[in-house]
Chain A
Amino acid sequence: MTASATAKVPLVEVEDIHTFYGKSHILHGVSLQVGRGEVVGLLGRNGVGKSTTLKTIMGLVNPSRGRVRFEGSATTGLPAHRLARIGIAYVPEDRRIFRLLTVMENLRTGLDRRGVSEARKQELLDKVFAYFPRLAERRNQAGGTLSGGEQQMLAIARAMMLEPKIILLDEPTEGLMPRMVSQIREIIEVLHREGVAILLVEQNVPLTLETSQRVYIMEKGVVRHQCAASELRVNDAVIHQYLGV
């Protein structure tokens, strides 16, 4: 492909996927795209299938129908550890850091990859500790002893160690106090400036509209609405219809 052609191919493309949990038909044909370096929001109430969509992209769940593409090539059915190596990182809803590993060891799970020089590893570590000084202070502490906000930072830092092209962020602000929510906003902006794409699942509508370029809104396992984030206000009728009460 020519350089300009690759620039046009979306980074991640999800085409009409149907995903089941046992018999429960969670995704009824979801399609969406994330462009290179784009921040895309995925909104919707609980239970509509937002997390399942992320898990399907990450290869943690296999769709029964439909395709997932990364940089133009099909990735449906590939195991998650391969996807992590080609540039997709996942930060799950409950953080899921390795509680019995230290902060440093958690970071190393992403850092110890083939083809990364020691110098580059040190660079990445320095960068992440600069963004998250609290993690630097606690680098030899077990992950399970960190507070909720610190665990969220660690989960994001760990994903950054993979030097991903896209990070799938699932409800990063859930359960965090307002000050930490601001920090999350800053981190998303920093990542965006560095050219990392983000697919952001969130219940926090203002945060999502502020940080995303585009948003999708899901309901009952399908995408019901998509538009540029600038076209929506928090009290828009569309928002109320799909997210409000």
Chain B
Amino acid sequence: MEVISDFFQAIPYDQILIQTLNGIVTGMILALIASGLTLIFGIMDVVNFAHGELFMLGAYIGVVVLATSGSFWLALVLATLVVAIIGAALQITTLRPLIGRDPLTTILATFGLSLVLQNYALWQFGPVARKIQEPITGQFTLFYLEYPWYRVLIAGLSAAIIGAFWLFLKYGTYGIWIRATTQDRVMAQAMGIPVPWVHTAAFAIGAGMAAASGVLFAPLVGVNHSMGIDWVLKAFIVVVVGGMGNLGGSIAASIFISLLEAYASIWVSPAQAVIVSFVVLILTLLFRPTGLFVPTPK
């Protein structure tokens, strides 16, 4: 009897609660990044290795706008717009000419872009990490614990952005264009949908979403040129586990994996907790390669 009550007493309830919240927050940011990635892959079969750098660029632009204007919200909006435009320009110049070629060429192109962007940031901003001040400070009390408001804000805003995007896809005129192009590029063209521009717009939207996550996440860590690398790796894992091209799947997978990692970090160091994502990835590829959250293919 004592063993059982000892066991229950040993469970760190407060840590589990905190980590649940952390997991959800990280999960929502990851979901925002992964949504853009899966949109780009789903619509034009491009594996965007530069996605983490778009995240990083967003954070840096946020730093710059915040420094000049003092407004976090302005930084968020401007960074999203600017990176969306940059994304569109990149797609038009480097990816459009590669349509119809071996998929390996687009992988190389986006990988090359990521190197260029990282080194540009290093050159432009230097190796020292920048800091962004959170727009809302302070914590709220949950039971007997304190949890930062800002983190809750991140989760809420990310969810709002993803929600808005989902509504746009479902009900907007151009949302239908994106969905039609994703399903059947050729017939979309035959219906008068200007597919090359839909591709550009989708890339821009994905880039904008990555940038927004960058600005939102920046106050929690330092902004530096290599901050995108870890995130893009996790985002790819999420996209595969969630089912490539499956928006709902990536969101579910983001939260799932982030929660698992957060719980794991109660007992092991965060660096080791990352192993969890890889284990989930390997298991998914072995047993349900089309995605954990995708109905079993017949």
Task: Tell me whether A and B are bound partners.
Answer: yes
A residues sitting closer than 8 Å to B (CB atoms) are 58, 60, 79-81, 84-85, 89-90, 92, 96-101, 105, 108-110, 112-113, 158, 162
Hey, which bits of chain B sit against chain A, CB under 8 A?
Answer: 173, 176-177, 179-180, 183-184, 186-196
Q: Which of A84, A100, A158 contacts B189 (CB 8 A)?
A: A84
Given A98-B180, A98-B183, A100-B179, CB of A84 within 8 Å of CB of B173 = no
**Do B183 and A101 touch across chains, with their CB atoms under 8 A apart?**
yes
Question: What would 19 more interface pairs be, CB under 8 Å, given A84-B189, A98-B179, A109-B191?
Answer: A60-B186, A60-B190, A79-B189, A80-B186, A80-B189, A81-B188, A84-B190, A84-B191, A85-B192, A89-B190, A97-B187, A98-B187, A100-B179, A101-B180, A108-B173, A109-B180, A110-B192, A112-B173, A112-B176
Tell me which of A96, A101, A162 contacts B192 (CB under 8 A): A162
How long is the Cα–Cα vector from A205 to B62 in the complex, in angstroms? 67
Q: Shortest beta-carbon distance, B191 to chain A, in Å? A: 4
18 contacts between A and B (CB under 8 A): A79-B196, A80-B186, A81-B192, A84-B192, A98-B180, A98-B184, A100-B179, A101-B176, A101-B183, A109-B188, A109-B191, A109-B192, A110-B191, A112-B173, A112-B176, A112-B177, A158-B191, A162-B191
Let me know if A96 and B184 touch, CB within 8 A.
yes
User: In the docked arrangement, what's the CA distance between A204 and B250, Å?
Assistant: 47
Tell me if B191 and A96 are in contact (CB < 8 A). no
Contact call B177/A109, Cβ cutoff below 8 A: yes
B173 contacts A101, C-beta separation under 8 Å: no
Please measure, in the bound complex, the distance between the C-alpha atom of A96 and the C-alpha atom of B177, giving whole angstroms.
Answer: 15
- Is B189 a contact partner of A81 (Cβ separation < 8 A)? yes
Complex Cα–Cα for A99 and B188 (A): 12
Residues of the A chain whose Cβ atoms lie less than 8 Å from the Cβ of B196:
79
Minimal beta-carbon separation of A12 from chain B (angstroms)? 15
Chain B residues, Cβ within 8 Å of A100: 179, 183
Given known pairs A98-B183, A98-B184, A101-B183, the reply for A109 and B189 (CB within 8 Å) is: no
Judging by beta carbons under 8 Å apart, are B177 and A81 in contact? Answer: no
Separation of A98 and B189 alpha carbons in the complex (Å): 12
Q: B180 contacts which chain A residues (CB < 8 A)?
A: 98, 101, 105, 109
A113 cross-chain contacts in B, Cβ below 8 A: 192
A52 to chain B, nearest CB (A): 14
Q: Which residues of A contact B176 (CB under 8 A)?
A: 101, 105, 108-109, 112
**A105 vs B191: C-alpha distance when bound (angstroms):** 12
Name the CB-closest residue of B to A110. B191
Residue in B183, B189, B193, B194 whose beta carbon sits within 8 Å of that of A60 in the complex: B189
Residues of chain A lying within 8 A (CB to CB) of residue B179:
98, 100-101, 105
CB-based closest 8 A-B pairs: A84-B192, A80-B189, A109-B191, A90-B190, A81-B189, A96-B187, A85-B192, A112-B173
CB-nearest residue of chain A relative to B179?
Answer: A101
Beta-carbon contact of B187 and A92 below 8 Å: yes
Complex Cα spacing A60 to B196, Å: 14
| Distance between B189 CB and nearest chain A CB, rounded to angstroms | 4
Please, which residues of chain B bring their CB within 8 A of the CB of A108?
173, 176
Partner of B194, one of A58, A81, A109, A110: A81
Supposing A105-B176, A108-B173, A109-B177 touch, asked if A99 and B193 sit within 8 A by C-beta, the answer is no
Q: Tell me the bound Cα distance from A60 to B187 in angstroms.
A: 9
Q: Say how far B133's CB is from chain A's closest CB, in angstroms.
A: 44
Closest A residue to B194 using CB positions: A81
In the complex the two chains form, what is the Cα distance from A85 to B177 in whole Å?
A: 15
- In the docked arrangement, what's the CA distance between A92 and B184, Å? 12
How distant is the Cα of A79 from the Cα of B99 in the complex, in angstroms? Answer: 14
In the complex, chain B residues whose CB is within 8 Å of the CB of A101: 176, 179-180, 183
Query: What CA separation (Å) do A113 and B196 show in the bound complex?
Result: 17
The CA-CA distance from A89 to B187 in the complex, in Å, is: 10
How far apart sit A105 and B175, CA to CA, in the bound complex (Å)? 10
Select the residue from A58, A81, A84, A101 with max chain B CB neighbours within 10 A. A81
Q: How far is the CB of B175 from chain A (nearest CB, A)?
A: 10
Cβ A81 vs Cβ B193 within 8 A: yes
Whole-angstrom distance between the Cβ of B169 and the nearest chain A Cβ = 11
In the complex, what's the smallest C-beta–C-beta distance from A58 to chain B, in angstroms? 6
For the complex, give the distance between the alpha carbons of A100 and B184 in Å: 10
Question: How far is the CB of B97 from the nearest CB of chain A, in Å?
Answer: 15
Residue in B closest to A84 when the chains form the complex, CB atoms = B192
Please give, as numbers and ranges, the residues of chain B lying within 8 Å of A99 by CB-CB distance: 183
Q: How far is the CA of A110 from the CA of B190 in the complex (A)?
A: 9
Q: How far is the CB of A171 from chain B (nearest CB, A)?
A: 16
**What A residues does B188 contact at CB under 8 A?**
81, 109
